[in-house]
Structure 1
Amino acid sequence: MSRSEVKKYRKTPLLLAIVFVLPVVLAYLALSYDWFNKASTNKGQLLETVLDLNLINSELEPKWRLLFVMPQTCQQSCENALYSINQIWVALGKESDRVEPVVLVHNNSANPQSTQIVKHPSVVVLQVDEQNVNKVFKDDAADGIFISDTLGNIILKYPLKQQEQEAIQQSRDILSDLRKLLKLSRIG
């Protein structure tokens, strides 16, 4: 063997180590020292405990739902939420048949006829018992806009916004999350 062949054979294992081992070491270091953002892609708050919408009404058609529980008094944040769920539904376009905007109204809720909801016939007003709402939301507050999957599991929550511009931005976030869910789901 000549010297050039010996050098060639010595370089081969070194090159293999660089090509296969170096990326693994770099990936380990990147994860260990947080070189990359480990953030999630959803913009809403992912609920850790399963909230079952079927406790309210088990006869609901399997669809994705935008939920809002009508509070006792409908102030600006409530009006923003009612407007937002309708606008999100409209913005879904051809996917809107897979999503149903729902407002849950119970005995102590504000009168839905005196709110924005009368301007939006696409929003379904569902009369429910307050005890069933309390069963669904347990210790969690029911103030917010929620996304429910086709099986009736409430999975994402978005807080209510007082300012109109914040509510509009939040609507964009909800729409973004909902589009991702619809894209990944074949059901509903």
Structure 2
Amino acid sequence: MKSTASKKTLLLMIAVFVVPVILAKLALENDWFTKAATNKGQLLTPTIDMSAVLQNEAPKWRLVYVMPSQCDAVCENALFSINQVWLALGKESDRAEALVLLKEDSDNTAVAALSDYPNVSTLASSNSLSLETNSVYIVDTQNNAMLFYQIKNDRKEAVMESRDMLADIRKLLKLSRIG
């Protein structure tokens, strides 16, 4: 009698510890739930190495935009967004930089209009990077573009995208000790 009670207790103890592990493994393997992702931008896999362009620059977190040959509403929204996000960083803004990469065929009128955004830096680049001109990229202190945000024509949508950029870069600055 005592033997069967102790066997039941042993089986119950094994079940209490083993069954949750088996269920967790099955849940992970079969994608029974959505995996947590806290970033709001789209993750670049693999990252884009921008060392050739940024090799002489100080290590900072960067919001990078490539100036197109024709600056349209998307371009204007991107320039506005990176400036606003940089301003919103407040005391952390010294660890980040809003940067516009200029190519040979970049819109000179838009480049001249950048004087309206004194916090936005420019850098001439002859390197051909695989960066889209309708996106803003977050580049880490090791010069890897890691997140990007598609900028929209509509100013309200662009502002919403700016909020996502700000949330992501704040999180990255909080977690990073570099830059």
TM-score, shorter chain, exceeding 0.5: yes
Structure with bigger gyration radius? 1
Q: Work out whether residues 81 and 158 of structure 2, in 8 Å CA contact, stay in contact via their aligned partners in 1.
A: yes
Cα distance in 1 for residues equivalent to 2:81 and 2:35: 29
- How far residue 104 of structure 1 moved from its aligned partner, in angstroms, is 1.1
1:67: Cα distance to partner?
Answer: 0.3
Is 1:109 matched up with 2:100? no
User: By how many angstroms is 1:82 displaced?
Assistant: 0.5
Q: Which moved more, 1:77-86 or 1:55-64?
A: 55-64
Equivalence for 1:87: 84
Please state if 1:169 is matched with 2:160.
yes
1:158 aligned onto 2:149? yes
Matches of 1:69 and 1:103, distance apart in 2: 6
Q: Name the TM-score, length of structure 1 as normaliser.
A: 0.85
Q: Specify every segment of 5 or more residues in structure 2 that has no aligned partner in the other structure, as ranges.
A: none
User: Which amino acid letter does the alignment assign opposite residue 48 of structure 1?
Assistant: T
Residue 141 and residue 119 in structure 1: after superposition, are their counterparts in 2 closer, same or farther (change >3 A)?
Answer: closer
Corresponding residue of 2:74: 77
| Residues 66 and 132, structure 2, Cα contact 8 Å, conserved in 1 | no
Q: Which amino acid aligns with 1:146?
A: Y
Partner of 1:150, secondary structure, is coil
Paired residues for 1:175-186 under 5 Å: 175-186=166-177
Indicate the SS of the match to 1:56: helix
TM-superposed deviation, 1:108: 1.1
Query: Structure 2 residue aligned with 1:22, among 3, 19, 22?
Result: 19
Q: Distance in 2 between matches of 1:171 and 1:178?
A: 10
Note if 1:43 corresponds to 2:40.
yes
> What is the alpha-carbon root mean square deviation over aligned residues?
1.9
SS of match in other structure, 2:123: strand
Q: Distance in 2 between matches of 1:107 and 1:20?
A: 64
Cα displacement (A) at 1:7: 5.1
Deviation at 1:39, TM superposition (A): 5.1
CA contact (8 A) 2:87 2:93 kept: yes
Distance in structure 1 (CA, Å) of the matches to 2:80 and 2:162: 9
Query: How many percent identity over aligned positions?
Result: 49
Which amino acid is 1:35 matched to?
W
- The size of the alignment, in residue pairs, is 178
| Secondary structure of the corresponding residue to residue 125 of structure 1 | strand
Identify unmatched segments of 5+ residues in structure 1: none
TM-score scaled to structure 2, two decimals? Answer: 0.88
What CA distance in whole angstroms lies between the structure 1 residues aligned with 2:97 and 2:107? 21
